[in-house]
Amino acid sequence: MFGTLGRYVVRHPWQVILAWILLAVVVVATAPALDSTSDEADFLPGHYESIKAMEAQQEAFPELADTEPAAIVVVDRADGARLSAEDVAAVEEMAKELGAADIDLLDDIRANPPSENGLVQTISVGLAEGTDPFDVALNDSAEDLREQVGDAADGTDLRVAVTGSIAQNLDATEAASGAEAAVGVATIGLIVVLLLVIFRSPIIALLPIVVITIISQVATGLIAYANDLFGLQTDSSITVILIVVLFGIGTDYILFLMFRYRERLREGEEPKQAMIHAIERAGEAIASAGGAVIVAFLALVLSTLSVFRAIGPALAIAVAVTVVAALTLIPAVVSLLGTKVFWPSKAWKKEPEGARFGAMGEALGRHPGRFALASGLLLASLAVFAFGFKPSFDFSQLSLPDDAESMVASDRMLEGYPAGATAPQTVVLRSTDGAPLDQADFAQYAEALGAADGVAQVAPPIPSSDGTAAIFVTTLDDDPMSDAAMEKVEGPIRDAAHSAAPDGAEALVGGTTSIFVDLQDAMIRDYSVVFPAAALMIMIILALLLRSLVAPLYLMASVGLGFAATLGATVLVFQVGQGQDGLIFMLPIYIYLFVTALGTDYNILMIARLREESRHGKDPRAAAAWAVRHAGPTIAAAGIILAGSFAALMLGGNPLLVSMGFAISFGILVAAFVMSMFFTPSLTALLGHAAWWPGHADRARDADELEEPVRASERG
């Protein structure tokens, strides 16, 4: 199949190139915008209590966009002193000025009383009636609000800063935009430099950049089509991750192809035939590796969280487009350039000595047991720390830099108000039979709710217009984003809310902390479903590729050990070393999918080469030695480029991208330089022919089975 594909691409390169250009133009011209969300509630299905509470509130109180202000203006003195009577009057005047400014989509602007210690005062800003709280136009409103607040504070001794949902969304958008630019520049720069070092050719260094830029437009458009068609939501980090996936994985697959192409040229084949052979030999590895990545990402559709159900197909589409381009567009361009693609270097003509990889291969072939034990112990020692992983569910804390205005405002607010004041919880009490609630029960219910462990105060209830529901806004003792708050909401607060509900009524606990509690439950469920499903599908691909039931078992075991080692190293660096309270709850799934999928990529490349050497008549240990010698440089180069691409995420400027960039880049280095370079070939050498049971994929073949004769029509 890949030979047929190679012959068509090499014979008709302009058809292939023009088809890609036409596809890119059509997709870019017609695709919808790729929208994203940072609202955690968008990620949960409707059967969770926090979502039921939100829906009940929207149904009973359509006039209330939200019980939490859309924005909070936090005011204190620049010198840290208590607010004077003149300061309080200035804040009240500031609120009036903001109300008179008629800021789009914002309304109900009012000054609140100063905190009990007199250090802080706030101004609450609500949404105009009928405004969608997730309308992207609110970013402009938040920006306008900040400008108006700054102008109103001029000439006073007051400091002002704006926080709240719309301010956090604005900061997240700006941070993501900055991260996208920084990551994009770093990723492209790193790829260019490394390819220049490897091939010493500016053409090869720039080729992936030009080609993948076209691919990225096609992939992004197709993802937007899929989101629009299936109503999917992606989180705000997806555009940054797509840059890394497309350029990192795309460059990897191009390397797989170009190393084979160069190898065949060195063996004396003419350029066109060398490219056909490269597609035929590397095509199977690229398609299988890409297939493993795709099915790993598609396993996320089994998640209960919509963020994963959207990210999975998005990344799968990106990889699928990359695989097709690596097998068609890149060979078409290279077949036109021929050996000029290596200009001005002449190094491609000479086989390097490969002393380093040759020596490693020989040592592994002589002592596979030592290599297997050493690499296995290294992975296991890091994997121990994975048990200390603590998930965090606060997207704003993890996706925003500490100096973002909304973060600064929240910190200042805590100097005067309870920790829970930054995100009050909402308890909705509603009738179960449609009859109005007895408002005489409200005081007793509020008292019972206020007595629950973890509740600082309960505001007077707000009854609905028809009397069938009431809202109790509840402030927590603890930071709403903390583990302590989550434990109390999940336990005593929900218990008290449910048990104290009067006859004929039910209580639903909503709010940010309640959403986090439900996210944690959904995450635990997803881990038990997504991980095994992804592993099973990848094992099926490996079994079909290798025609073996044994090899997929230890290949996946090695990848699983690599996942645990990567998570453990991340915990060691960030939780133990830096003292962070937790890591984003999505991190294990991202590590699992990238390390599993990409680790399988490198395993496939190594074991496919090992199988090829076995088919040339070498015994298992010699085949492993030669596989490390020949596939080692490709895997090393690909691993460094891909790890460097993901490491660029650490330039994103927020804890989420820093921890994700470190974890995935470390995992890729482990996959390339420990798992596939040593662990996999050493285990294969130890198992010998048993590794290929029940098939005979390592059986020595005749020369005419190993390579098709070159047809005259394919020469020249």
**pLDDT tens-place string over residues 427-482:** 999 999 889 999 999 999 999 999 999 998 899 999 998 999 999 999 998 888 77
Specify the pLDDT at position 395.
61
Identify the CA nearest to 632 among candidates 347, 366, 360. Answer: 360
Task: For 361-411, write each residue's pLDDT tens digit.
Answer: 899 999 999 999 999 999 999 999 999 998 877 665 666 777 889 889 988
Specify the pLDDT at position 496.
95
- Could you say which of 3.30.70.1320, 3.30.230.70, 3.40.50.720, 3.30.70.270 is the CATH number of the domain covering 424-510? 3.30.70.1320
Residue predicted with more confidence, 164 or 443 = 443
Give, in words, the CATH class of 2-26+171-344+355-396+518-704. mainly alpha
Specify the pLDDT at position 701.
56
Specify the pLDDT at position 166.
87
Residue range(s) of every CATH 3.30.70.1320 domain in the chain: 69-163, 424-510
Positive or negative: CA dihedral 665, 537, 555, 618: negative
User: What backbone torsions phi and psi does residue 132 show, to the nearest 5 degrees?
Assistant: -70, 120
Specify the pLDDT at position 452.
95
pLDDT higher than threshold 60 for residue 417: yes
Identify the CA nearest to 610 among candidates 684, 665, 522, 551. Answer: 684
Q: Which fold has domain 69-163?
A: Alpha-Beta Plaits (3.30.70)
Q: Reply yes or no: is the peptide bond before residue 588 cis, omega within 30 of 0.
A: no
Specify the pLDDT at position 199.
82
Identify the CA nearest to 393 among candidates 514, 302, 494. Answer: 514
Is residue 578 classed as helix, strand or coil in its secondary structure?
coil
Are 130 and 169 within 8 A, CB to CB? Answer: no
Specify the pLDDT at position 716.
31
- % of the chain with per-residue pLDDT over 70: 89
Quickly state the pLDDT bin for 589 (edges 50, 70, 90).
confident
Distances (CA, A) of 262 to 24, 186, 265, 269: 29, 28, 5, 10
Specify the pLDDT at position 397.
61
Quickly state the pLDDT bin for 700 (edges 50, 70, 90).
low
Counting Cβ atoms within 10 Å, is residue 706 exposed (0-12), middle (13-18) or buried (19+)?
exposed
Alpha helices by DSSP H, 367-438:
368-383, 395-399, 405-413
List the Cα angle 609/614/620 in 5-degree steps: 105
Mean pLDDT to the nearest integer, 664-683: 91
Positive or negative: CA dihedral 540, 542, 544, 550: negative
Most confident of 139-148, 350-359, 410-419, 555-564: 139-148
Two tokens, residue 281: 């030999």
Distances (CA, A) of 541 to 256, 282, 424, 502, 548: 19, 16, 49, 57, 11
Average pLDDT, the chain: 84
Counting Cβ atoms within 10 Å, is residue 116 exposed (0-12), middle (13-18) or buried (19+)?
exposed
Specify the pLDDT at position 714.
36
Residue 471: what residue type? Answer: I
Quickly state the pLDDT bin for 711 (edges 50, 70, 90).
very low
Please state, in angstroms and rounded to a whole number, the distance separating the CA atoms of residues 525 and 304. Answer: 8
Identify the CA nearest to 655 among candidates 547, 567, 577, 580. Answer: 580
Mean pLDDT to the nearest integer, 525-551: 85
Mean pLDDT to the nearest integer, 239-260: 79
Specify the pLDDT at position 713.
34
Are 119 and 415 within 8 A, CB to CB? Answer: yes
Lowest mean pLDDT among 46-60, 230-244, 321-335: 230-244
Specify the pLDDT at position 399.
63
